[in-house]
Structure 1
Amino acid sequence: MGQRLSGILFDKDGTLIDFDRTWGPAAHAVMTTLADGDRARFDDLVRVSHYVEAERRFLPTSPLLAGASSVYGPLWAAALGRPAGPVLYAEMDRLFREAALRSLHPIGAPAVLAANLRAAGYTLGIATNDAEASARAQADRLGLSPHLGFVAGYDTGHGAKPGPGMVLAFAEHVGVAPGRIALVGDTTADTGAARSAGAVAIVVLSGPMGTDARDAMRPHADHLIDSIHDLPALLAAIDG
């Protein structure tokens, strides 16, 4: 009997990479650049981002935790006194892509895990509300790209999570029904995308809220694990 699951689709931030250690410093750098020496504008960016400047981290209520730049972009546009729209969002995406590569911090050894999963017969992909160019740059830096058959960002054309578009596109890429796909992520945007597509929702507790998210995420998850490195044992149990 073949594997019940054929494809594993990973969220990126909080799942493959450490959210606060990567995006905390990156956000500070981007806000500093965009504020251009105007402390009041910088403080407004901090406020609307629910960002703790002294600790270089986001509060669990931050719109940046799971939202694309098109989602929190209007908040930043208002703080900066600039027009909201694609021009600003493209600038934000570029600045974040460059800054996050400087502070990129993986969770464990995702490339080793990916190599093992691919050797076991799974098709792998990334579905993120980050921009696709940023996701691909980070995947290259982490050594993940050779193991990925699919990378989608909010701007790829499949829509953003929690919509089902990325998951359905990945299922089509793999050539199986969505029920044979698992989406692994740390937020309700991930579980919402999985559930709305008819895929398996696997929650990892490696996001910004850590194990404190266990009770909150349990109702949204088909399976719940501490990190991606617990995935092989879970997949063995699922497929068994």
Structure 2
Amino acid sequence: MIDGLIFDKDGTLFDFRVSWGNWAGTFLRRIASDEAHARRLGQAIGYDLEDGSFAPDSPVIAATAADIAAALLPHLPGLTHAELTDRIDASAGMAPMSEAVPLRPLLEGLRSKGLRLGLATNDSEIPARQHLATHGITDCFDFIAGYDSGHGPKPGPGMCLAFARETGLDPARVAMVGDSRHDLEAGRAAGMRTIAVLTGVAKREDLAPHADVVLTDIGAIPGWLAGL
């Protein structure tokens, strides 16, 4: 029995390649001195400026804004880590997100079944809330946390456990939903079920060993729940 679901954001609620591929190219060109510099910045974070693709180990996929800033900082003399992190957060909050599936009908349907819903992202909390608000779904969540909300980043279990604690749910009756190993490892560490989705960069074979089930996207969750 599942009483709650806690979702990752990027690559789970929102299609990663479409949403962050567009953002990365725009952001890097904005902070670079020229196109060659932008390409070097892209290489530093595992992003190909020419085709808009990410390497599997890119920090943009599952790391924090502070981690992305740390990777870029050696190539941006004159900026401090804090300044660059702030720039990333400000830009990320304005990034146009592409819904992996129509989100409001799905989330309302899950809530109508009595499920409690949470969000645990390695994005910062402020831009995460901006993305939810832009898509009109903030009210669908009982809990929203970023890596900077005081519970620690994934793959640590802090955000997952905080969701269970704040909603009064048994972690064993909650499922963590995500597109990366960080998400699934966080859920497992919290004693939760784990659902992998393929709307990020990771492939099925990379996620399957860490998940109770691998779904094409979050739109398949109601069917999976019905089959439990």
1:222 aligns with 2:212: yes
1:29 aligns with 2:26: yes
Does the residue aligned with 1:15 lie in a helix, a strand or coil?
coil
2:40 pairs, out of 44, 55, 80, with 44
Give the letter aligned to residue 116 of structure 2: T
Cα offsets for 1:108-148 (capped at 9, x unmatched): 20111000000110011111111111111111122211211
Partners of 1:87 and 1:169 in 2: how far apart? 29
Deviation for aligned residue 1:83: 4.9
Aligned length: 228
Aligned to 2:166: 173
Deviation for aligned residue 1:207: 1.2
TM-score (norm 2): 0.95
2:63 pairs, out of 52, 59, 67, with 67
Deviation for aligned residue 1:223: 1.6
State the superposition RMSD in angstroms: 1.4
List gaps (5 residues or longer) in structure 1: none
1:162 aligns with 2:158: no
- Kindly, what percent of the aligned residue pairs are identical? 37
Deviation for aligned residue 1:208: 2.2
Give the letter aligned to residue 2 of structure 2: L
* Kept in 1: contact 2:12–2:200 (CA 8 A): yes
TM-score (norm 1): 0.90
1:107 aligns with 2:103: no
Does the residue aligned with 1:171 lie in a helix, a strand or coil?
helix
Partners of 1:43 and 1:222 in 2: how far apart? 39
Deviation for aligned residue 1:6: 1.4
List gaps (5 residues or longer) in structure 2: none
Cα offsets for 1:194-216 (capped at 9, x unmatched): 0111111110112124xxx1122
Partners of 1:228 and 1:234 in 2: how far apart? 10
Higher mean C-alpha deviation, range 186-195 or range 4-13: 4-13
Deviation for aligned residue 1:182: 0.8
* Kept in 2: contact 1:12–1:128 (CA 8 A): yes
1:231 pairs, out of 217, 221, 226, with 221
* Kept in 2: contact 1:203–1:221 (CA 8 A): yes
1:182 aligns with 2:175: yes
* Structure 2 counterparts to residues 85-164 of structure 1, below 5 A: 85-98=81-94, 100=95, 103-164=96-157
